[in-house]
Amino acid sequence: MQKMIKVSVLALSIGLVGGCGGLETTATSDAPEMSAMERANDAYNLAQSAHSLASEAAYAADQAQRDAQAALQCCNENASKLDRMFEKAMTK
């Protein structure tokens, strides 16, 4: 997931920079370049935000996985106890 975000940001940056490569550097062409730079910065900030959100989601999923494993282990232990109790009761 993180690699996909990084690749997307890189591709977007290359696309924006590549699209601006043919522009002449004159006083009148500064506005499009500034606009492109602002859009690239916005895209970068959006990607950083998405990366942060994805990291938080991965942490939450990892915590949920640990909780589920603990619950399963507890369930298995309870089932074993019940089986032993049933077997003990049946032998009497």
Question: Any residues with CB less than 8 A from the CB of 50 and at least 6 apart, and which?
Answer: 5
Spatial contact of 16 and 36, defined as CB atoms under 8 Å apart: yes
The pLDDT-based confidence of 31 (bands split at 50, 70, 90) is confident
Distance CA(43)–CA(49), nearest Å, equals 10
Structure tokens at 11: 């591709």
Of all residues in the chain, the percent with pLDDT exceeding 90 is: 59
Q: Is the pLDDT of residue 67 over 90?
A: yes
Quick check: 13 pLDDT over 60?
A: yes
Mean pLDDT along residues 43-62: 96
Q: Quote the distance between the C-alpha of residue 34 and its chain's center.
A: 30
Average model confidence (pLDDT) across the chain = 84
